[in-house]
Amino acid sequence: MKRRAFLQGAVGLTVTFAAVASGCRAIPVIPKRPAPSAEDALGWLRHHDGKYELFVPRAEMGQQIGIALRRIAAVELGVSADRIRLRAPSSQDIERVKATVGSDSVKDFALPLAQACATLRDALAEGRTEGEIRVVERPLKQLLSMRADATANLLVVRDDLLAIVSGAPLFAADMRLPGMVYGRVLRAPVSPELGSRPVDWNDAAARRVVGFVAVVQEHNLRHANSVGLGILASTPGALDRIEQALSVRWHVDGKFEPREIDDAIDIDRHLAGGDLRHAVRDDDLDATGAWSIDLRFDVPLAAHGGIEPRAALAHFTATPTGRPRLQLFTGTQDLFYVRDVLARTLALDADDVSVQACRLGGGFGARTLALVEVEAALLARAIDRPVKLVWTRAQEFRQGFHRPPSSHRVRARIVEGRIVDWWHALVSSHILFTPAAMPLWIQRLVDIAGDQGVARGAALPYDVPRQRIAFDAVRLPVHGGPWRGLGTAPNAFVVESAIDACAVVAGSDALQFRLAMTKDVRLTAVLRGVADDAGWNAQRSEQPPSGPRRGRGLACGVYKGGSRVAVVADVEVSASGDARVVTLWCAHDCGLVVDPDGVRAQIEGCLVWCVGMVLVEALPLQTSGIAATGFAESPVPRISSLPRIEVRLLSSNATPTGAGESAMTAGAAAIANALFDATGYRASRLPARPEELARSDH
């Protein structure tokens, strides 16, 4: 408290903190991932006078999960959906829940919520309105909401949509508090993996900027190995002018060139050095004989590209006993991890930290760590006023983490039209144990078993007798981390591109080739479904005599052992190699569908991501870091480049599985296979380059 008292008069001054130990910093905070119980779910519900509140235990980031859970609650409680008010919780409203990741929200949260609602309904029916109730779990078939179409046909007023289209404040940066100032943490313009710190800066020039409030030196303004310098201003625009006036000189330890990253994951160098450390499957197979296909694929570093930059508003008050209490607004995928990191970093009791969930302007894995939140809280403590801190777009690229690059080799042997041997080797960087949050020594422990995020989506959805699927992760000087579906999109792109190549070698139709290799009834159904919708014909039509070359491709996949997806893509490629996806058809089976429109929207979103992945996305590097400062250098797909999308949901009574990432298993390869069909060029390095697609000598 002494420090804060000292700081009360600090406006316009430079604030310096001596380095003090705060908590045990050697071991990072590890996200806890408890599965929710029905008892937990009771804690998400409030009831008074026939009205209900549901604290949505999942981050709302576009998947409309509140709507899905509200449907379940309405059916199970036996009330109309408009009597259930949705609320975004703070970390003090509900018990700890795990991060909103991995398309688990309906799969893991629907059933506990249904059980809790059924218990509450029965208790109210018995006239109980006070005292504690305990969940009595009942068999699945007694839960009304778990029956086919019970929730899907329910009419739900979309008040969330009304709020969005009328511009209501929903996001962290929309929050405002009296006396609020604006903060930014300046960092060396290099990867936070390199050690860096401010050396000197022009304090006097900064003070002359209208709106200057303070410069904050704080040893805790550290992200990975980057130590930053805080600035505070009375308007957001003044932050830019202060940053310019300060012209901070940085010390940076070491440097790296983009080439070193390519070399570090180069699959052929790794294979030349021996086997990779981890295996999804490790059958005995002849590794030296001739192969029917032997292909290399490289997938680049790519950004999440959510349109909302990370933002937080932090505010210190005091508890009744005078302890500092932190209230922080943020859009995060992991409310309780953020709370734990804040408590640790600021040496606060976790109960004295209240993190209020706000809607996320896109999650996609980017909001799984605590980055902007720590910066906002530290600056708010330093100045003892509410601080709003919004990352600039350049900070998003340079200080965030990204989809790590990966390098793959796939070899397959085909006998009598079937794949008998399959060897897929890939090297990437850590994903679940991202270097953005985990020191090297933790990664070394993880590397005993392997980072499973890297391997996701590498398993074959086919019956192939001998398979070797091996992977490894290398710590890179740029930070990779969770990105929609983790390794799924790169791995499935590679797998299904290679399967397409196998079908070509076998002289088989891409659909029949796949159908012949699977006995999975649901995978077969989505394949046949999408083929029907697209009018798939084994007999390919001739290219038109003039105009763009046309192509059609197919791919399918199984996401996390649950949802089945198949996609057909139609593309056109101009003589100059400009490719356009004309139509995407998708058939999707995620078991019981709670919110059909929400599922469709997620599939559409994944397919748009797949268009971007194949045709436009790569995050450029320069010496020692990311070269992009805006969307000009790190593009995402634009409306004119996007296809017509036709989605068919195959409804079933199977237990619900995910939909938020599932179509990442099939979209990219379907597009790449269509490009091959049109041009004879197999996109082996993403994004596909026009100069390769333009060639006619493939």
Nearer to other proteins, 364 or 401 (CB): 364
Q: What end-to-end distance do the CA atoms of the chain give, in Å?
A: 71
Tell the smallest beta-carbon distance from residue 480 to other proteins (Å): 18
Tell the smallest beta-carbon distance from residue 334 to other proteins (Å): 17
Question: Strand 229-233 vs strand 212-217: parallel, antiparallel, or unpaired?
Answer: antiparallel
Tell the smallest beta-carbon distance from residue 611 to other proteins (Å): 9
The answer to whether 393 contacts other proteins (rule: CB under 8 A) is: yes
Tell the smallest beta-carbon distance from residue 373 to other proteins (Å): 18
Could you tell me the maximum CA-CA distance found in the chain, to the nearest angstrom?
82
Nearer to other proteins, 62 or 482 (CB): 62
CA distance 314 to 25: 22
**136: burial class by Cβ within 10 Å (0-12, 13-18, 19+)?**
exposed
Q: Does an H or E element contain 654, and which?
A: none
Neighbours of 50 (CB within 10 A): 8
The answer to whether 307 contacts other proteins (rule: CB under 8 A) is: yes
Nearer to other proteins, 464 or 608 (CB): 608
Q: How far is CA 696 from the centre of its chain?
A: 37
Can you tell me which residue has the tokens 């994004």?
Answer: 687
Tell the smallest beta-carbon distance from residue 585 to other proteins (Å): 13
Residue 411: name the closest of 500, 284, 287, 512 by CA.
287
Q: Which of residues 316-375 bind other proteins (CB under 8 A)?
A: 359-364
The answer to whether 630 contacts other proteins (rule: CB under 8 A) is: yes
Listed ranges 102-110, 156-164, 459-467, 688-696: which one lies at the site for other proteins (CB under 8 A): 156-164
Tell the smallest beta-carbon distance from residue 603 to other proteins (Å): 9
Can you tell me which residue has the tokens 């550290």?
Answer: 222
Listed ranges 165-173, 287-295, 337-345, 454-462: which one lies at the site for other proteins (CB under 8 A): 165-173
Tell the smallest beta-carbon distance from residue 636 to other proteins (Å): 6
Listed ranges 90-98, 130-138, 386-394, 444-452: which one lies at the site for other proteins (CB under 8 A): 386-394
Nearer to other proteins, 329 or 462 (CB): 329
Nearer to other proteins, 365 or 435 (CB): 365
Q: Which position among 27, 30, 136, 168 is part of the footprint of other proteins (CB under 8 A)? A: 168
Tell the smallest beta-carbon distance from residue 368 to other proteins (Å): 16
Q: Is the dihedral of CA 633, 639, 643, 645 positive or negative?
A: positive
Residue 225: name the closest of 259, 250, 257 by CA.
250
Q: Which position among 63, 399, 488, 497 is part of the footprint of other proteins (CB under 8 A)? A: 63
Q: How far is CA 689 from CA 283, 551, 614, in A?
A: 36, 16, 9
Tell the smallest beta-carbon distance from residue 310 to other proteins (Å): 12
The answer to whether 140 contacts other proteins (rule: CB under 8 A) is: no
Tell the smallest beta-carbon distance from residue 167 to other proteins (Å): 2
The answer to whether 167 contacts other proteins (rule: CB under 8 A) is: yes
The answer to whether 173 contacts other proteins (rule: CB under 8 A) is: yes
CA distance 49 to 59: 28
Size of the site for other proteins (CB under 8 A): 64
The answer to whether 81 contacts other proteins (rule: CB under 8 A) is: no
Nearer to other proteins, 173 or 382 (CB): 173
Residue 182: name the closest of 310, 13, 312 by CA.
312
Listed ranges 9-17, 387-395, 468-476, 502-510: which one lies at the site for other proteins (CB under 8 A): 387-395
* Contacts of residue 135, Cβ cutoff 8 Å, sequence gap at least 6: 37, 38, 39, 41, 42, 115, 116, 119
Tell the smallest beta-carbon distance from residue 484 to other proteins (Å): 10
Tell the smallest beta-carbon distance from residue 271 to other proteins (Å): 35
The answer to whether 56 contacts other proteins (rule: CB under 8 A) is: no
Nearer to other proteins, 475 or 648 (CB): 648
Q: Are 637 and 615 in contact (CB under 8 A)?
A: yes
Nearer to other proteins, 18 or 632 (CB): 632
Neighbours of 545 (CB within 10 A): 5
Nearer to other proteins, 148 or 161 (CB): 161
Q: Are 387 and 378 in contact (CB under 8 A)?
A: no
Q: Are 171 and 361 in contact (CB under 8 A)?
A: yes
Can you tell me which residue has the tokens 């980055």?
Answer: 371
The answer to whether 308 contacts other proteins (rule: CB under 8 A) is: yes
Q: Which position among 7, 36, 57, 64 is part of the footprint of other proteins (CB under 8 A)? A: 64
Q: How far is CA 138 from CA 76, 116, 142, 598, in A?
A: 12, 10, 7, 28
Tell the smallest beta-carbon distance from residue 553 to other proteins (Å): 19
Listed ranges 438-446, 496-504, 625-633, 670-678: which one lies at the site for other proteins (CB under 8 A): 625-633
Listed ranges 46-54, 167-175, 244-252, 273-281: which one lies at the site for other proteins (CB under 8 A): 167-175
Q: Are 499 and 476 in contact (CB under 8 A)?
A: no
Q: Is the dihedral of CA 98, 99, 103, 105 positive or negative?
A: positive
Nearer to other proteins, 162 or 287 (CB): 162
The answer to whether 179 contacts other proteins (rule: CB under 8 A) is: no
CA distance 281 to 325: 50
Q: Which position among 379, 390, 510, 615 is part of the footprint of other proteins (CB under 8 A)? A: 390
The answer to whether 17 contacts other proteins (rule: CB under 8 A) is: no
Q: Are 618 and 672 in contact (CB under 8 A)?
A: no
The answer to whether 154 contacts other proteins (rule: CB under 8 A) is: no
Nearer to other proteins, 501 or 615 (CB): 615
The answer to whether 639 contacts other proteins (rule: CB under 8 A) is: yes
Q: Which of residues 188-247 bind other proteins (CB under 8 A)?
A: 210-211, 234-238
Cross-strand bridge partners of residue 409: 296, 425
CA distance 42 to 120: 8
Neighbours of 537 (CB within 10 A): 11
CA distance 201 to 297: 45
Coil, strand, or helix at residue 159? helix
Q: Are 593 and 656 in contact (CB under 8 A)?
A: yes
The answer to whether 169 contacts other proteins (rule: CB under 8 A) is: yes
Cis peptide before 36 (omega within 30 of 0): no
The answer to whether 607 contacts other proteins (rule: CB under 8 A) is: yes
The answer to whether 511 contacts other proteins (rule: CB under 8 A) is: no
Residue type present at position 333: Q
Q: Are 527 and 461 in contact (CB under 8 A)?
A: no
Neighbours of 20 (CB within 10 A): 9
Nearer to other proteins, 46 or 644 (CB): 644
Alpha-helical segments (H) within 168-275: 203-207, 236-246, 258-265, 267-272
Tell the smallest beta-carbon distance from residue 389 to other proteins (Å): 12
Nearer to other proteins, 208 or 644 (CB): 644
Nearer to other proteins, 152 or 516 (CB): 152
Listed ranges 217-225, 300-308, 322-330, 485-493: which one lies at the site for other proteins (CB under 8 A): 300-308
Q: Helix 65-77 and helix 596-615: axis angle, to 10°?
A: 160
Three-state secondary structure of 482-500: CCCCCCHHHHHHHHHHHHH
Tell the smallest beta-carbon distance from residue 629 to other proteins (Å): 8
Q: Which residues contact other proteins (rule: CB under 8 A)?
A: 61-64, 158, 160-171, 173-174, 176, 182, 210-211, 234-238, 304-309, 359-364, 390, 392-393, 597, 601, 604-609, 629-632, 636-640, 642-645
